[in-house]
Amino acid sequence: MGQPPETLYKKMVYPQTKVVYVSFPMTHLDRAKGRNYGKIDQLIKELRRYFCVIDPRNLTINEQALGIVRNHTVHRDLHWFVSKTHKTIIYYPEITLSLGANTEMWEACKTSKDVYAIFPSAKFSPFLDYPVKRIFSSTEAFYDYLAKNYKKIY
C-alpha cells in the first residue's frame, strides 16, 4: 500500500496545493475497537478536500529490512515528510502517550511549519500549546476552521 494516486494528481494539476502531514498516536492508540482509526480516516478525508495529505499509515517499508525499520521510520517521517511539507496536523482522538506525534510536532515547529493540534480536552500541557499555531478541542471545530480559511481544491 502507498499514498493514493490523488496525491500526485493534485500536485500535478493544482501545483499550488499545500502538502500536510497528519500525525497521530499509532503505538498506543486503541486499535481493537477500530473507533479511533475511523476518526483518523474521517479527518484525513476532510483534509484531502483542501490539501495533499501524507498519511504515515500509507507509507510502506521493505519488511525484509526489519532490523532497520524502526530507525528508518523515524528518519523518514521527520526528515522526508514533516520537514518537507507545509503544515503538520497533530490529532489525538483520545488522550494517550505518543512520543512519535510529540516529536513530529516539535520537528515541524523547529522547521517553521504551521502546526495545528486537535486535542480532546480543554486541559493540556504548555508543551502542547507552545509549538502549535492553534489547538482545537474537536474535529468539528477544526473542520469549521478549514471551511472558513481554506479553499477546497475541487
86: CATH: 3.40.50.450
**Of 56, 119, 124, 123, whose CA–CA distance to 85 is shortest?**
56
Residue 49 counted as domain residue: yes
Residue 96: band (very low, low, confident or very high) from pLDDT cuts 50, 70, 90: confident
Domain count, the chain: 1
pLDDT, tens digit, for every residue of 37-75? 888 999 999 999 999 998 988 766 565 666 677 777 888
Residue 153 in domain: no
pTM: 0.76
**Location of C-alpha cell 528518519:** 75
114 vs 14, higher pLDDT: 114
pLDDT at residue number 45: 94
Q: Does some domain include residue 120?
A: yes
Domain of residue 92, residue span: 5-9+18-148
Is 145's pLDDT higher than 60?
yes
Phi, psi of 116 (to 5 degrees): -120, 145
- The DSSP line for 45-63 is HHHTTTSEEE-GGG----G
